[in-house]
Amino acid sequence: MPIGQKVNNMKSTGRISVYHANRGFGFIHETKNGKLLTYFFHISSVVSGDPRGGLQARFTPNVNKKGLTAIDIEVKDGE
């Protein structure tokens, strides 16, 4: 997979495991095929909702030189 490209064009769903509001970043966990994947995200990638730990999020998986990242994130409040 080339660096800086979307893993696929389909949205994935996961849970925000932690969000550091004071630093503007967090992590989303997704279980895929029995494997736990962790995606880094920055607040600039959140397109809707208010990120907080424990909330569900829809996102587009991406990969960069540091690993898996989430972009185009839609936080689902209260779900």
Domains of the chain: 12-76 (2.40.50.140)
Q: In this predicted structure, what is the pLDDT of residue 1?
A: 46
pLDDT band at 35 (very low <50, low <70, confident <90, very high): very high
**What average pLDDT score do residues 47-55 get?**
96
Q: In this predicted structure, what is the pLDDT of residue 78?
A: 67
User: In terms of Cα–Cα distance, which of 77, 33, 32 is closest to 57?
Assistant: 77
Q: In this predicted structure, what is the pLDDT of residue 4?
A: 55
Please check whether residue 1 is in contact with residue 47, taking contact to mean a CB–CB distance below 8 angstroms: no
Average pLDDT of the chain?
Answer: 90
Entry pTM? 0.86
Q: Cβ–Cβ contacts within 10 Å for residue 49, how many?
A: 17
Quote the Cα angle for 58-62-67, to 5°.
120
Q: In this predicted structure, what is the pLDDT of residue 7?
A: 58
Quote the Cα angle for 16-37-68, to 5°.
90
